[in-house]
Chain A
């Protein structure tokens, strides 16, 4: 038990929770909590940093904004939305968490996430590993050529980049082209056998988006816009995600 009594400010101020309510549809139902605890009982982040989803929401409702801003827990919640899924009142705790991440100045957010977002902003690939479009194109062409030769049944296999009018615009997690290029091949083979008309984009090909995790809206928008513009430019029918 805390020895200190928590003081709730006398004068009603606009709190963090009020601000989040303003930007969410139906106010994220943030003031409808029945305190049943279904969220916390099924949350893998319960207990980390002495926190759980119900407690976090309660702190916000009580206007304990400083404590929320100081807490590292929003970075231990993955915003997986299981709490909303089981909540009888559909309370959007993950959006509360997302906005709590943004309470700290950008440069004080976790270095790893920050670094991966900044890498994605370096060039048009939007890769969290900073890989340039040319390097991606080179790896894809190199691996494709190698496999066409080594496995003659796949001599006609394609891995198109910027193919106009393709049905599918496929994105690719950077991990394969950068660290394990052989792992690119099984997916290409599947697409080849299925007769899929697909393409990568030389821009916006990277499948990961750490700027969203950083709660940096401008950068998230930039990354998503880059890939969406490329897909629009190629006039694809379907934006196809592998994950």
Chain B
């Protein structure tokens, strides 16, 4: 979306009176400003390890390494610096997961999974328990890779972990957390459906 709007505004010369931004930048800003009082204490003893996918559309294709740094700042703030492991290569040099460009809907499933093999290996090499994917296409693709290649690492949205670290993640907002985190720091557990 970030890319289709930014590129579309330019390509079709559309009149507009706003800036186009991505929310990672604001997550980082709000944490730095103390508006989001996140804490990684929930993970101090659990020591669950996380890696993060740099979405091509947002990092390489739009805002470059500075937003990749914001993304890391947010992730480290919510899971603990010692519990974050970067993939190699990363940031603007990261590999696409294969969920972009319409590949998920193109019908070439076998080729799409083959494409994603590199990403799956990259994730497994980190030894992380979880992969964070901030983009829906990445999320769907990496989730499928995790099942297909047998890694079974859960793939989570960033907002889920931010709310977990704020102690405000309810029992019904945990669709993508693994069993190890379903019961951790639950907000209003009595509302479980």
Q: With A and B bound together, what is the CA distance between A48 and B98 in angstroms? A: 12
Q: How many A-B residue pairs have CB under 8 A?
A: 218
Q: Which residue of A lies closest to B141 (CB)?
A: A78
Is there contact, CB below 8 Å, between B93 and A82? Answer: yes
Is there contact, CB below 8 Å, between A240 and B4? Answer: no
Which B residues touch A239, using CB under 8 A?
A: 5, 16, 18-21
Chain B CB within 8 A of A138 CB: no
Chain B: interface residue total (CB-CB under 8 A): 73
Q: Which residue of A lies closest to B101 (CB)?
A: A78
Is there contact, CB below 8 Å, between B18 and A241? Answer: no
Measured CB to CB, the closest approach of chain A to B163, in angstroms, equals: 4
Which A residues touch B99, using CB under 8 A?
A: 78
Chain A CB within 8 A of B80 CB: no
Which A residues touch B42, using CB under 8 A?
A: none
Chain B CB within 8 A of A185 CB: yes
Most chain A CB within a 10 A radius of its CB, from B93, B106, B115: B106
Q: Which residue of B lies closest to A110 (CB)?
A: B106
Q: With A and B bound together, what is the CA distance between A187 and B12 in angstroms? A: 31
Chain B CB within 8 A of A133 CB: no
Is there contact, CB below 8 Å, between A80 and B60? Answer: yes
Which B residues touch A240, using CB under 8 A?
A: 21-23, 26
Which B residues touch A47, using CB under 8 A?
A: 114
Chain A CB within 8 A of B126 CB: no
Is there contact, CB below 8 Å, between B35 and A193? Answer: yes
Q: With A and B bound together, what is the CA distance between A242 and B94 in angstroms? A: 19
Is there contact, CB below 8 Å, between A241 and B1? Answer: yes
Which A residues touch B115, using CB under 8 A?
A: 44-45, 48, 76, 78
Q: Which residue of B lies closest to A242 (CB)?
A: B23
Chain A: interface residue total (CB-CB under 8 A): 70
Q: With A and B bound together, what is the CA distance between A162 and B172 in angstroms? A: 27
Partner of B102, one of A195, A213, A227, A228: A213
Q: With A and B bound together, what is the CA distance between A76 and B163 in angstroms? A: 36
Which A residues touch B72, using CB under 8 A?
A: none
Is there contact, CB below 8 Å, between A241 and B8? Answer: no
Which B residues touch A82, using CB under 8 A?
A: 56, 60, 93-96
Is there contact, CB below 8 Å, between A209 and B16? Answer: no
Given A78-B103, A190-B163, A196-B26, is A185 in contact with B114 using a C-beta cutoff of 8 Å? no
Given A44-B115, A81-B61, A187-B159, is A237 in contact with B19 using a C-beta cutoff of 8 Å? yes
- Interface flags for B163-179 (1: CB within 8 Å of A; 0: not) read 10010111011010000
The segment out of A11-19, A29-37, A169-177 that lies at the interface is: A169-177
Measured CB to CB, the closest approach of chain A to B11, in angstroms, equals: 8
Q: With A and B bound together, what is the CA distance between A42 and B96 in angstroms? A: 10
- Interface flags for A165-197 (1: CB within 8 Å of B; 0: not) read 000010101010000101101110110011110
Which A residues touch B117, using CB under 8 A?
A: 44
Is there contact, CB below 8 Å, between B18 and A81? Answer: no
Q: With A and B bound together, what is the CA distance between A103 and B177 in angstroms? A: 43
Which A residues touch B101, using CB under 8 A?
A: 75, 77-80, 213
Which A residues touch B18, using CB under 8 A?
A: 169, 231-232, 236-239
Is there contact, CB below 8 Å, between B12 and A224? Answer: yes
Q: Which residue of B lies closest to A174 (CB)?
A: B136
Is there contact, CB below 8 Å, between B116 and A44? Answer: yes
Is there contact, CB below 8 Å, between A208 and B1? Answer: yes
Is there contact, CB below 8 Å, between B17 and A235? Answer: yes
Which A residues touch B102, using CB under 8 A?
A: 75, 78, 110, 112-113, 116, 210, 213-214
Measured CB to CB, the closest approach of chain A to B188, in angstroms, equals: 5
Measured CB to CB, the closest approach of chain B to A89, in angstroms, equals: 17
Q: Which residue of B lies closest to A76 (CB)?
A: B111
10 pairs of residues in contact across A and B, judged by CB atoms under 8 Å: A80-B61, A80-B96, A85-B60, A85-B92, A110-B105, A185-B173, A190-B30, A224-B4, A225-B14, A232-B18
Which residues of A are interface residues toward B (Cβ below 8 A)? 42, 44-45, 47-49, 72, 75-82, 85-86, 110-113, 115-116, 147, 150-151, 153-154, 169, 171, 173, 175, 180, 182-183, 185-187, 189-190, 193-196, 207-210, 212-214, 217, 220-221, 223-225, 227-228, 231-232, 235-243
